[in-house]
Amino acid sequence: MTTIMIRLLFVFTLIATAMNSGKAIAQNVMNQEWVLNPGLSKVNFQSVKKKTVVETHHFKAMEGSVSKDGDARVTISLDSIETNHDLRNTRMRFLLFETYKFPKAVISAKLEMPILQDLLTKKNIRYPLIFTLSLHGIEKELQAYVSVTRVSDTAVTVATVEPIEVTVESFGLAGGLAKLREAVNGIPIEPSSLVSFELAFATTEIRQKVAQPAMVPLQTAAAPNIASVSAEISAENAYEATAAIGSCGAYMVFEKQYRGTFYGRLAAQHLSSNCQAASAAPQAQPFAPPPTAVTPPTVVASVASGPAPTPVLLAAPAPTPVLLPAPIPVIPPEQLAPALQTALQSIGCYTGGIDGDWGSGSRAALGRFNALAGSNFQPTPPTGEALTAVQAWRGGNCVVIAKTRPARKTVKRKSKTKVSKKKAPATAAKKKPGVGGIGILLGGGGIGIGF
């Protein structure tokens, strides 16, 4: 009996020791820094078009960490958006998010570590997360309940319990959404999105084991030469390359090549807003592409047996300078109407006088240009974008059909010539025999009357 009691006491001692040891390990884990595992993490958002079509998108590149003090930060590369459609990816990046100016979205929060201490005894807890979302140059505080799960002593996951609604107005994306709608021929797109995420974190002890794909950079090491972009590349891809370079010269080259198109107008707007100094240049200047990273020489060697041949060094070709187009003029608002009337008149769309009065005739002329060029400029008021597009137009002239009254049919009528019937002169009446005229005869001795 005594032996049995000793054995039971020994077993209970081992169990208690193991429990205390596990608690100590867990406490030690809670006091460590955590790093995001992007390979196991997801950030999704849904968009709705035509009121019933729901599409789910996600981001492929992100990084983040949580410090011992509870400072959490997750950075998402907006260039890594994946919609399962290449053209839609490009439109999302450059029309909606404008990644050439705002390449990242950042989620930051201060975690309450005492609440997270419940993970020492529980596998899962519900945590009220208050965080700040920085997107498109605007910061907003949001809140949501998240589910925190302790997968092991070296791994935890954080997932939204319910999707978080984010509106375009809250982050200044309404203009980008309008451009996106225009690019898809006016298909209605809802101005809000539901965002959800599931983030996986590991302790820094296994940081080297966590595969972290590099964040998608805003600019590549070797920027493409816009002048050599072939005609087969779509305007969207060319605009993406232009934004990757980011210089005013690149935008000017792009605007000249794609002038009159939707993306050409985007480039013109960018130049007007961000490149006033470049537009004010007195004349065209040679533009050299930005310096590229030094590429090591390529060594061509034979793999055949025998003595190794002398390596041949292939030098990288020197970049070809590109001539900048003429600067885009900046027109004062009061001169826009007469300038646009003049431009419309030069291509036959406007037939009135250059008086600066933007009336029905001027609006109709701009409508004719829209029909001719396939553009969609509003009829009023006159804008600099419309002026730039009209002045750059080289695709033909408007045909204005004048409204004339139908010509009257000429009917030849028989002329009625009035023949004047002159009365014949009265002929002397024939004297009847025995009838004569009255005569007075004067004689010397008296007066005689005869018939």
Q: Are residues 147 and 43 part of one domain?
A: yes
Q: State whether 49 and 99 are in the same domain.
A: yes
Instruction: Tell whether the model's pLDDT for residue 340 goes beyond 80.
Output: yes
Flag whether pLDDT at 304 surpasses 60: no
Whole-Å CA distances, 152 to 123, 158, 344: 9, 13, 71
pTM of the model: 0.48
Q: Which two tokens stand for residue 372?
A: 């001719």
pLDDT per residue as tens digits for the range 342-393: 989 988 899 988 988 899 999 999 989 888 887 888 888 888 888 888 888 8
Task: Assess contact for 310 and 361: CB atoms under 8 A.
Answer: no
Domain region containing 136: 32-209
160: confidence class by pLDDT, cuts 50, 70, 90? very high
Answer yes or no: is 433 within a domain.
no
70: left (phi over 0), alpha (psi -120 to 50) or beta: left
* Residue count of the chain: 451
Tabulate helix, strand, coil % of the chain (nearest 5): 35, 25, 45
CATH of the domain at 358: 1.10.101
Total number of domains constituting the chain: 3
User: What tens digit of pLDDT does each residue of 241-283 get?
Assistant: 787 777 787 788 888 888 888 788 888 888 887 876 544 444 3
Q: Is residue 417 part of a domain?
A: no
Structure-block tokens of residue 353: 């006088």
Quick check: is 81 in a domain?
Answer: yes
**Is there a single domain that holds both residue 118 and residue 250?**
no
CATH number (domain holding residue 126): 2.40.128.110
Q: Are residues 154 and 196 in the same domain?
A: yes
Query: DSSP secondary-structure letter at 163?
Result: P
Question: Is residue 111 within 8 Å of residue 66, measured between CB atoms?
Answer: yes
Q: Same domain, yes or no, for 234 and 205?
A: no
Q: Which residue type sits at 277?
A: A
- Is there a single domain that holds both residue 193 and residue 240? no
Tens-place pLDDT, residues 121-133: 888 999 999 999 9
Indicate if the pLDDT at residue 170 is higher than 90: yes
Q: Same domain for 272 and 326?
A: yes
